[in-house]
Structure 1
């Protein structure tokens, strides 16, 4: 055998011997990635999703208590207590509403909690009709739950507590039917909160799907799909805040925007809810531990993303006036436009750098193309 043939044969034998070792290493690496994804998704469920729905459930309990007390003993103090409980429920919902799949998407639960945007004013017209008469006096909870989703949740409840005629709730003889609606809408929110809390606390249901990505999982078949779901939740949540929550009322065609389209404007909770939405993105990023899936510049990149999200929260929390006043002032309007730009920057970091560092960049984009 010539030296050249001997060299080739040795090389082939070496390759054959190394192949099983390399394959075993690849399998070990895949197993490690899958286990890491499971750890991240487990933390997402136990540290973010479950506490979020538990807090919403608890806020619904307090809201029902305040609404029932208002109906039993109407007066200015009881009305203010009910309004404060409503604000707590709005912020509790704002802290978890970026989760828009799974149990909350079944049985119209999301829309029954929050029918927004209401582009045609359907909910407003319907709740005004209900409050104009005494129809709600004879309703049960099941009656309300059989009505349009547009009047079952936070939107209709806000109008009843803060809209025209709301002061009648403080008067024993005038606000009985309206108060009955407030009580039933509160109980509906409590009911949905209890359902979501219970379903996510069941380890054999949706929580199991989220916490155990892998080849036997019908939804999240590998680490890539699990991390894509998690990143997509953050990115689409940010897009909704930028385009709908802020974009709707900021507008483009009118100098003073469209303040009447702002969510929770009657309760003065527009920007507080936006800040809570943004804070939920930050908490999901931190509590999921997704940075541990980043393969390069993990510490630096995670720190930069946290800083940028923090800037959006700080900006959202800096607005104290009502939406009309914010839009009428050139300085605050400019800050609202900056907020949109800052959110867009976070989206680009997550959709670009974080996605790539997590190994999700090949042919995949979460964003809306901007």
Structure 2
């Protein structure tokens, strides 16, 4: 008897708390479904481009052990040359633009997150998918934004954690869509978007009570309309797009990338992830005594410059979202392979003067043999600066920037 009374008391207190907390008159299945529809259309693009980026990095390229979550090995193509620039730009850029929509969607369903669990199996399954969905997407947003800012305060491997977290989110996303798609379709049909966009706050009315508990039982008077809520979220997304897109596109928009640390550079320059000073390399290691080790032969920079040179306009793009296209000049990798006595290489391993987890990069046969794959000595008509990889760096079409190794010390071509 006492337990039953305590249960009723807790339920009554929860009901009172819900009425106090969640009293917005615009919250309801229709508004939630509008935000959900936007995410349903856009999040698959973020998911697919993120998985493609992981494939582009290739096995062993990232210092991360993800066990059975590894995707099948695929040789990342070199054409079109802007492929990685597109996939990474979409993944990071669209991910940032969707942050206001995600937050609005969470706001619209927040009463449900605090509701007492139902004993119905379908309702319990829906609650479980919400845990995966909400937890997964918040983890991905937070770690992704910190990575863009080069702020690794979380203390674990971003690559492994972000990738594993993506699969948690994907599982929750797929299951949640499967369970809630019919409800979303019914809710969207219950009201006219055109009518809502014409309805001012004074004429805004709550939706009819719903079984999901999103509609407030005792709503407050409206202070904004659903039109206003959509405009606020849409305006936030547009603002973030304007402050983000310049990091992916060259030209005047580069100056608008105000929120991203690699968005803007000095006139005539282009971004770098890590400067020469930050790399910790001794200046003597890239001085007059530097040699490129090809195994069978060692070449000075002057000897490399005396070889046939090739020039190509190629983009370079990094996982943090920035990219840029520049004019590179140097020796073709396939010419260096022939010089090393490997006429038909099956791949290559590039080693940097720098020490650390990204000091090596593995290239496939197609990446080595592409006619625009270079050991670059110059960029935009001038010798590479130390920040950009002097005395020599690798540049390969469509390859992630982390594989375009700077301060190259050796290249081993495999037979």
Task: Give the TM-score taking structure 1 as reference length.
Answer: 0.32
Radius of gyration: which is bigger? 2
The structure with the largest helix share of the pair is 1
Task: Give the TM-score taking structure 2 as reference length.
Answer: 0.30
